[in-house]
Amino acid sequence: MKPLLLCFAFAVIVGIGNAAVMDTGGLSRDSFPKGFVFGTATSAYQVEGMANKGGRGPCIWDVYVKQPGHIANNDTADVAVDQYHHYKEDVDLLANFNFDAYRFSISWSRIFPEGVGRVNWEGVDYYNRLINYLVKKGITPYGNLYHYDLPQALQEKYNGFLNRQIVEDYADYAEFCFKTFGDRVKNWFTFNEPRIVAALGFDNGINPPSRCSKEVGNCTDGNSAIEPYIVGHNLILSHAEAVKRYREKYQAKQKGSIGILLDFNWYEPLTRSKADNYAAQRARDFHVGWFLHPIRYGEYPRTMQEIVGKRLPKFTEEEVKMVNGSFDYVGINQYTTSYISNPTSPSNVTSYQSDWNAAFANAKNGVQIGPRANSWWLYIVPWGMYKTVTYIKERYGDMNVIISENGMDDPGNATLPNGLKDTTRIKFFKDYMTQLKKAIDEGANVTGYFAWSLLDNFEWLLGYTSRFGIVYVDYNNLKRCVKVTVMKRLLLCFAFAVIIGIGNVAVMDTGRLSRESFPMGFVLGTSTSAYQVEGMANKGHIANNDTADVADDQYHHYKEDVDLLAKFNFDAYRFSISWSRIFPEGVGKVNWAGVAYYNRMINYLVKKGITPYGNLYHSDLPLALQEKYNGFLNHQFVEDYVDYVEFCFKTFGDRVKNWFTFNEPRIVAALGFDNGVIPPLRCSKEVGNCTAGNLAFEPYIVGHNLILSHAKVVKKYREKYQANQKGRIGILLDFNWCEPLTRSKIDNYAAQRARDFHVGWFLHPIRYGEYPRTMQEIVGERLPKFTEEEVKMVNGSFDYVGINQYTTRYISSPETPSNITSYQIDWNATFATTKNGVQIGLRANSGWLYIVPWGMYKAVTYVKERYGNLNIIISENGMDNPGNATLPNGLKDTTRIKFFKDYMTQLKKAIDEGANVTGYFAWSLVDNFEWSLGYTSRFGIIYVDYKNLKRYPKMSAYWFKQLLEKKQ
C-alpha cells in the first residue's frame, strides 16, 4: 500500500480530492455480463528488467536498442521498471484496485537463453514466484508466450521466423511452459500481435530484425514483397502447433484455454463510395484477417490470395486441419481508428503495406477523427471499439473475444505531481468501455477487458518518452505512484482512516506506522528457534544452571502459538528445525517422530494462513558430529549438512517455500571458536578458559566450512527442488551497526574493518565470490581460499539475505596494538557505548543490547549501497526485559513498543530511499530460553509463565495487532 499513501499528498496538490466520486458514465462491474474478466497487462521486455542478469539470454530487442539512433534518447530496457524485483508490489496494486486478472508475458530467452536446449532455472523460478503470488492474491494469471522478444541466438542461428525450424523450436518452448506453469496458468496466448512482428520487422524494418527492401526502408537486407508473408505463415504454424500440443497433451488435465492476441485498429471508409469501402475492407483483411481468417476458416482471406498471389505461402491439407479452429478465444488489442480511401495512384513498390492498396487519413472534411494521444499513431476514437467488435462478430461468427489491450499514453516527461492527473485517460477508458458495452449488449461474445498498461514502462521505439500506465513510475527510483485512474479507492479508504483515527482514543500510538506504510506484499512476521522453544542444552554454563529440557514446550503447544500468530495478524512465522530431532546422530537413522512434529506444525501454519519460513540451522549442531570429527572444523560437515538439508527439502518443501540455511554463522564461528563462550568452547588459552582450540585459525576454518555448506545446499536446492517446489532460499546474518566514534580517517577505517569482519565475512563471498579485501590483507594465509569451482558455487548463492539487527556500537582505532592473534583482534577496532559522556542509547536487559534505532537505517542502507540492492529481510529485531518480571507487570512492555515503533520507522526511511527490504520479523514470538542468559531474559511479545507454560499476550502483541490490521 505504500505507493498509495505516498501519493495522497500529490493527489491533494493536483486537485483530485474529489476523485472518490469520479464519473464512470454509469459503468460498473454489473454493467457487463456475469463472469466478465477485468484485468490489466504488461509484457516481459517492457517491465521486467534484469536484461543481462538472472541467466537470461539476449533477445533481438537487446541487440537493437544498443545501436544508436533506434530508440528515443537511446533508452534501453536493461532495467525497465524492474518488475523482476517489484512483482509483489505490482501484484498488490492489482489486488488493491479490484482487478480480476493480469496478462503478463514470458521471456523466451529468460527460460531458454539460447532459444533451445539448456534451461535457465533462475528464470523459471522468477515466473513461478510471480504466478504463485498472483494466485495467492486472487489474481488470475493470463500467460502470453511471446511478445516481440525472439531469442537472439535463434535469429543468428537460422534467421528466426524466416526459417521453418522456428515452428518446432517455438512449440518446444511453449510446451515447456505448459508443463511447468500450466497447473496454475489456465489462460494462454501464443503470440502478441504477430502482424506487428511480420510487418514492422520484415516489411518496413523499423523493428528488429530490421529487414526490408531497399526501396522501402533503411535496411541492410530483406525483401518486403516476400519475407513478411513467410514470417506470418511461420507464426501461424507455430501458433497452431503449440495449440495442437496443448490440446493433445495438457488441456484436458489442466483445464485451461488457449488463444492468440491480434492487433486491430478499425478502418473506416473515408467516403461512402464503393472504392473507399473496398479499400477499407482490404485494409481489414490485410490487418486482422491475415491471422484471424486462417485460424477461423483454414485459409487466408480471398483478398490476400488474389493480390499477393504466389508470394503468399500455402497451407498443406494437414496444416489446414491443424490451423483451422486453433483457438479457444481470440484476444483483440484495440486502440485507434483511421479513415481509409482508395489511393489516387498505385504504388510502384511491391511490399506488404503497398499490397493493401489503401490510403490512410486522420481527418475528414477538415475535422480530426479524434484527439491525439502522445503517440503519433494513437487517435482517440471510442466508436472504433464498437465497430471493431461488431465486425469480428459478424464476419467471423460468434467466437469468444477478449479485449486484451486498450489504452492511451501521455508524454514520458510528465513529472510528479502532474503525471498523476490523467483525466484524459479516465475519459478514454470510460468512452471506449461504453462502446464495448454497446457491442456486448447487441450480442458480441466478449468475455474480458484488459487495460494497457498496469505500469508506465519501456515503450519500444519510444523508450521512456511515452507513459501508458495507470500507475506512474518514477524512472529515477522506480517507485510506483497511482494516477487518478485508480485513485478512487485510495481516497475513500483515506477518509475512513481519518474518521476512525480521530474517534478512537483507545488506539495505541504506532507513530503513524501501519501495514500500508510498507511496500505491497511486505511480509510481517515473528521468529523463534527450535532449541529455545523445544530443545536440550548442556548444564553448567547457563545462568541459574537453567536448561532447555522443556523450554516453552512448543512441541506440545504449537497450535496455541500458531493461533496467537493468526490472532495478532502476522503473515509469517520463522521457525528453525532441529537437526538432531531429525537425525539424532547427525546422519543415518531418521527420527520419524521428529519429522511428524514438524509436519504437524507446518500443516497447521498453512491451515491458519501463516506462511512458514524454515531455518535449517540455529546453533544446534548434533553432539554426535562434534564428537565424531570436531563438527564445523572438519570438511565432512559440509556433506553431512547437505544430506540433512536435502531431507528437509524433500520432506517439507512442498509447503515450506522460504528457506534459510544458517542463522548467524558469524556467531557460530566467533563465539564458539574465537572466545569460546558458547559450544564447542574452543579458544586459545591466552583468551579464554578453553581446553582446546586456536583462535588465530579455527574461526576462519569454521566460517569457510559454513559458507561452503550454505552454497552447496543452495546449489542442491536450485538444481533439484526449486523449480518444482517454487521456493526461495537465503541465509541469516547478524549485523549490529558499527559507527565511527569520530570523523577521523582512522576511526572511519576502523569502523569499516569492523563491518567487513562482521557482516562482510559471510555476505561478501556469497555476493561477490571472495572475502572482503580487508580480511584478505589482514588475515593473510590464515584465511582459507575458495577454489575456482567453489567461487562459482558460492557467488550468488542466495535469493534473499536475512539481517538480524538489534544494536549499534561506536568504533575507534585502538591506541596500542594487541600481542594476540585472533579473529576479534584482527578487527583492530575498539568498541564504545558512549561518546562525549553520552550513552549511545538506552540499555535493554542484555548487557550488549543498547537501543539505537538509527542503527537500523544505517545497517540497511549500508547493505544496499555496498552489496547492491539485494532482497533483504529483517529477520530478527527486538529487545529484552528482565526474566524475573512477573504478571501483570511483565505484560506492560511499553519500552518494547517504543523500540519496535522507532526501529520500524527507521526501516521505513531506508525503504523509502530505495532499500529492497521485503519483510520484517520481530524477535521473538514468545519468551524463551535465551542461551547463556537462560530464563533471565524475556524477548517475547507473548509472556510465558515458566511454572505452567501458559501464554499471555503483552501490550506489544496488541500493538502489532493494530499495526498489522488489513484494511478492507
Residue 218, all three cell numbers? 533503411
Respond yes or no: is residue 318 known to be catalytic.
Answer: no
User: What are the backbone dihedrals phi and psi of residue 212, each rounded to the nearest 5 degrees, phi first?
Assistant: -170, 165
Q: Give the pairing of strands 257-263 and 266-269.
A: unpaired
Contact 875, 802 (CB under 8 A): yes
> Could you give the CA distance from residue 661 to residue 665 in angstroms, rounded to a whole number?
10
> Could you give the CA distance from residue 699 to residue 705 in angstroms, rounded to a whole number?
10
437 CB contacts (<8 Å, ≥6 apart)?
A: 27, 31, 32
> Could you give the CA distance from residue 272 to residue 341 in angstroms, rounded to a whole number?
10
- Paired strand residues for 257: 187
Cα Rg of the chain, angstroms: 32
> Could you give the CA distance from residue 927 to residue 226 in angstroms, rounded to a whole number?
76
DSSP per-residue codes, 605-655:
HHHTTPEEEEES-SS---HHHHHHH-GGGSTHHHHHHHHHHHHHHHHHTTT
DSSP per-residue codes, 84-118:
HHHHHHHHHHHHHTT--EEEEE--HHHH-TTSSSS
The active-site residue out of 89, 193, 241, 930 is: 193
> Could you give the CA distance from residue 680 to residue 673 in angstroms, rounded to a whole number?
7
Phi-psi region of 726 (alpha: psi -120 to 50; beta: other; left: phi over 0): left
Q: Which residue has the cell 499495526?
A: 963
Start-to-end CA distance of the chain, whole Å, equals 12
Contact 614, 648 (CB under 8 A): yes
CA atoms within 13 A on the CB side of 369: 24
Q: Which of 752, 428, 236 is nearest to 436 (CA)?
A: 428
> Could you give the CA distance from residue 289 to residue 296 in angstroms, rounded to a whole number?
10
The active-site residue out of 319, 405, 698, 876 is: 405
> Could you give the CA distance from residue 552 to residue 944 in angstroms, rounded to a whole number?
7
Respond yes or no: is residue 114 known to be catalytic.
Answer: no
Contact 424, 379 (CB under 8 A): no
The residues carrying an active-site annotation are 193, 405
